[in-house]
């Protein structure tokens, strides 16, 4: 069994990617059983019907109605309360007779799931037995169009990897349909060439921001955090087959922190 946690900033296309992967696996790999889990207690509409939904147990709107908390406070309370239903989630998974792939669509507020204790605790609890776990991190293409934006996203991706005990991590450049081919290639070059990003920083950034960004960029290069980035358009099903191929490559290789 594999569990893939789809994580990324709000609006980076996590739910659309979840749907695209579900559709692809079910259409072209019918011998493989796959289910989806929605772990966002605040989402109002999803492009797919989750097989297991945390909102059957806890929802932000119910907490607002009962406690009078605002949306942010209710989201924090709901995220923490998800821990109470780990056994229920595991029971529901068992009802699907040992599915081979589980896609977990995580909350839009990345920081609540990844940086509070609840997210890693849920990930550890669901990874029982010989279950393989991985992270699919969504780099929002609109946030990565500048060197500063790329560095900011690298910080988020690296922080998530650290919080989840360095699970294998596949990095995707999502919503590539919103970029021109030239901009897409430029962003990809920053991740393929260790020094391309540093050169872009020195050319395009200015003042103290330039110095700060250069220092961060050098740190990422030194520690090997700049890794392969796959361009994907889940909306138009472009690159989804490559994502599935990369997921499969990790099955017999659990020695590398990155796909």
Pairing of β 169-174 and β 101-105: unpaired
Residue 173: inside a domain: yes
Residue 247: inside a domain: yes
| % of the chain exceeding 90 in pLDDT | 41
> In which residue are the tokens 């059983």 written?
33
Report the pLDDT value the prediction gives residue 224, as an integer from 0 to 100: 55
Residue 44: inside a domain: yes
Report the pLDDT value the prediction gives residue 194, as an integer from 0 to 100: 66
Neighbouring residues of 23: CB distance < 8 A, sequence distance ≥ 6 = 237
Residue 201: inside a domain: no
Count of the separate structural domains present in the chain? 1
| Residue 83: C-alpha distances to residues 69, 87, 124 (Å) | 20, 9, 11
Pairing of β 169-174 and β 230-231: parallel
Report the pLDDT value the prediction gives residue 110, as an integer from 0 to 100: 83
Phi, psi of 113 (to 5 degrees): -75, -40
CA distance 53 to 89: 9
Which letter does DSSP use for residue 154 in this model? H
Inform me whether the pLDDT recorded for 184 exceeds 80: yes
pTM for this entry: 0.88
What does the pLDDT look like over 37-94, one tens digit per residue? 999 998 889 999 999 999 999 989 899 999 988 988 998 899 889 999 999 999 999 9
CATH code for the domain in which residue 62 is found = 3.40.50.300
| % of the chain exceeding 70 in pLDDT | 85
If phi over 0 gives left and psi between -120 and 50 gives alpha, with beta otherwise, what is residue 175?
Answer: left
CA distance 109 to 174: 17
| Residue 259: C-alpha distances to residues 35, 69, 78, 99, 188 (Å) | 22, 41, 32, 22, 16
CA distance 258 to 255: 9
Residue 184: inside a domain: no
Q: Nearest CA to 139 among 204, 191, 87, 72?
A: 191
Which domain, by its residues, includes 49? 2-139+168-178+228-252
Higher pLDDT, 164 or 127: 164
At residue 256 the predicted structure's pLDDT band, cuts being 50, 70 and 90, is very low
At residue 212 the predicted structure's pLDDT band, cuts being 50, 70 and 90, is low
Residue 235: inside a domain: yes
Report the pLDDT value the prediction gives residue 37, as an integer from 0 to 100: 96
Residue 56: inside a domain: yes
Q: Tell me the three state secondary structure of residue 37.
A: strand
What does the pLDDT look like over 162-173, one tens digit per residue? 888 768 889 999
At residue 237 the predicted structure's pLDDT band, cuts being 50, 70 and 90, is very high
Query: Per the structure block, which two tokens stand in for 135?
Result: 């992270």
Residue 72: inside a domain: yes
């Amino acid at each position: 069994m594999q569990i893939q946690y789809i994580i990324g900033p709000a609006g980076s296309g996590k739910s659309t990617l979840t749907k695209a992967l579900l559709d692809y696996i079910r259409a072209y790999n019918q011998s493989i059983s796959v289910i989806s889990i929605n772990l966002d207690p605040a989402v109002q509409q999803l492009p797919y019907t989750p097989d297991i939904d945390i909102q059957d147990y806890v929802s932000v709107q119910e907490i607002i109605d009962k406690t009078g908390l605002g949306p942010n406070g209710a989201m924090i309370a709901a995220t923490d309360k998800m821990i109470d239903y780990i056994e229920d989630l595991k029971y529901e998974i068992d009802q699907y007779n040992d599915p081979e792939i589980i896609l977990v669509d995580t909350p839009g507020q990345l920081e609540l799931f990844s940086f509070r204790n609840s997210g890693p605790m849920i990930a550890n609890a669901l990874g029982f037995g010989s279950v393989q776990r991985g992270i699919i991190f969504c780099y929002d293409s609109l946030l990565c169009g500048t060197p500063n934006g790329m560095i900011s996203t690298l910080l988020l991706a690296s922080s998530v990897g650290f919080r989840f005990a360095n699970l294998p991590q596949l990095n995707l450049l999502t919503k590539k349909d919103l970029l021109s081919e030239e901009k897409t290639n430029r962003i990809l070059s920053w991740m393929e060439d260790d020094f391309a990003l540093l050169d872009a920083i020195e050319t395009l950034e200015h003042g103290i921001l330039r110095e700060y960004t250069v220092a961060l960029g050098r740190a990422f290069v030194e520690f090997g955090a700049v890794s392969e980035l796959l361009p994907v358009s889940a909306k138009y099903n472009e690159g989804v087959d490559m994502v599935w191929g990369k997921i499969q490559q990790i099955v017999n290789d659990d020695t590398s922190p990155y796909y």
